[in-house]
């Protein structure tokens, strides 16, 4: 899993775009409640600043679905970054529009700016080529340090890398080193915990892990597809009805390989996907009609 990182390229004085994962949780007052994802990006950002780079950061926050929605603005992230770095992180009023271009053009060595939420752009999640080119036009080098979104073929992850020299940041390097060691020479017993929304998004990962692990624990929304395939009611939970046979096949494959595939024994359910909804914890076999499963219970 050897990938080029920021150490392997001449960055001194260069203008660099860094794709980060600043998709942090925040409350109704728009106060960040957990800044760990921002803190995790600091080593890469500080390394670039030490090399006198002009640093342009970008990220998504929530799901604005191609629309400009103030509640998903990265202004709270810019403020937190400014505090953590001890220098002003200017926030562009747009993603690749006039304000972003002007700020980028006037950025000096050792300065940091942040583009607005990349998902304000309708083309982001479609990996739109013109949007990818627009990202690339702002800088000279692309650094991907967003491990949590690196698997998505979006303009700010995959697309922009097609038009620029592209390397990994320290966070991705750390994750790849860990995964490489874990997968190539694991200590036994070897357990993997997998979450996510859709089984269809994780087919390759699940199949690959079944070949490697002793125990595979599956949580997140994808568990409800497995529950449904076992004949249990899942209420209004996210469920891929067209993947029930696949879920059964994966469970059978795990059994044949001697892999213990574990699903949650209980689940938190609510009336709707809202922080203030009525909720309770029930057995995975007892999800009531009209209720939506959120994730594992206790």
Find out whether 148 and 117 touch, Cβ atoms under 8 Å: no
In a domain, 178, yes or no: no
> Do 190 and 164 share a structural domain?
no
> Do 158 and 198 share a structural domain?
no
Report whether pLDDT(2) > 60.
no
- Mean per-residue pLDDT, 61-74: 96
Residue in 54, 141, 212, 280 with CA at minimum distance from that of residue 294: 280
pLDDT of residue 136: 98
> Do 240 and 100 share a structural domain?
no
- Mean per-residue pLDDT, 51-80: 97
> Do 157 and 14 share a structural domain?
yes
* Band of pLDDT at residue 52, cut at 50, 70 and 90: very high
Dihedrals φ, ψ of 204, to 5°?
Answer: -60, -40
- The encoded tokens of residue 86 equal 């001890």
Report whether pLDDT(1) > 50.
no
pLDDT of residue 150: 67
> Do 204 and 152 share a structural domain?
no
User: What pLDDT digit, counting tens, does each position of 213-225 carry?
Assistant: 999 999 999 999 9
- The encoded tokens of residue 31 equal 């106060």
Give the SS3 label for residue 54. strand
In a domain, 181, yes or no: no
User: What pLDDT digit, counting tens, does each position of 196-249 carry?
Assistant: 888 887 888 899 889 989 999 999 999 999 999 999 999 999 999 999 999 999
Last residue of a domain, one of 146, 173, 200: 173
- Mean per-residue pLDDT, 78-93: 98
**pLDDT > 70 in the chain, percent:** 97
> Do 114 and 31 share a structural domain?
yes
> Do 18 and 93 share a structural domain?
yes
Question: Residues of 37-61 as b/e, b for ≥16 C-beta within 10 angstroms?
Answer: bbebbebbbebbbebebbbbbbbbb
pLDDT of residue 177: 72
* Band of pLDDT at residue 59, cut at 50, 70 and 90: very high
| Model confidence, pTM | 0.72
DSSP H or E stretch at residue 85: helix 75-85
Report whether pLDDT(54) > 80.
yes
- Mean per-residue pLDDT, 74-80: 98
User: What pLDDT digit, counting tens, does each position of 134-185 carry?
Assistant: 999 999 999 999 977 766 789 999 999 999 999 999 998 887 777 666 677 7
> Do 110 and 37 share a structural domain?
yes
Task: Classify burial at 116, counting beta carbons within 10 Å of its beta carbon; exposed 0-12, middle 13-18, buried 19 or more.
Answer: buried
**What domain range is 290 assigned to?**
186-296
pLDDT, the chain, mean: 93
DSSP H or E stretch at residue 247: helix 244-257
Spatial distance between the Cα atoms of 127 and 264, rounded to a whole number of angstroms = 35
> Do 279 and 200 share a structural domain?
yes
Beta bridge partners of 144: 19, 168
Spatial distance between the Cα atoms of 105 and 88, rounded to a whole number of angstroms = 17
> Do 287 and 157 share a structural domain?
no
> Do 37 and 161 share a structural domain?
yes
Report whether pLDDT(39) > 60.
yes
């Amino acid at each position: 899993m050897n990938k080029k990182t920021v150490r392997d390229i001449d960055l001194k004085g260069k203008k660099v775009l860094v794709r980060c994962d600043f998709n942090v949780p925040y409350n109704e007052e728009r106060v960040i409640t957990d800044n760990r994802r921002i803190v995790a990006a600091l080593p890469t950002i500080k390394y670039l600043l030490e090399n006198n780079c002009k640093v342009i950061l970008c990220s998504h926050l929530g799901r604005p679905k191609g629309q400009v929605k103030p509640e998903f603005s990265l202004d709270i992230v810019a403020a937190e970054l400014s505090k953590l770095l001890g220098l002003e992180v200017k926030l562009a009023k747009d993603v690749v529009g006039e304000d972003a271009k002007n700020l980028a053009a006037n950025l000096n060595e050792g300065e940091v700016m942040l583009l607005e939420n990349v998902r304000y752009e309708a083309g982001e999640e479609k990996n739109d080529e013109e949007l990818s080119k627009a990202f690339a036009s702002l800088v000279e080098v692309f650094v991907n340090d967003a491990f949590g979104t690196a698997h998505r073929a979006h303009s700010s992850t995959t697309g922009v890398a097609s038009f620029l020299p592209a390397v990994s940041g320290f966070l991705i390097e750390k994750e790849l080193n860990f995964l490489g060691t874990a997968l190539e020479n694991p200590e036994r017993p070897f357990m993997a915990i997998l979450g996510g929304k859709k089984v269809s998004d994780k087919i390759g990962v699940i199949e690959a892990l079944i070949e490697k692990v002793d125990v595979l624990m599956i949580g997140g929304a994808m568990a409800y597809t497995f529950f449904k395939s076992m004949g249990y009611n899942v209420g209004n939970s996210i469920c891929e009805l067209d993947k029930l046979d696949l879920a059964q096949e994966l469970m059978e494959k795990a059994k044949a390989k001697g892999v213990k595939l574990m699903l949650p024994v209980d689940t938190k359910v609510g009336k709707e996907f809202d922080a203030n909804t009525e909720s309770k914890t029930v057995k995975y076999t007892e999800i009531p009609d009209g209720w939506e499963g959120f994730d594992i219970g206790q």
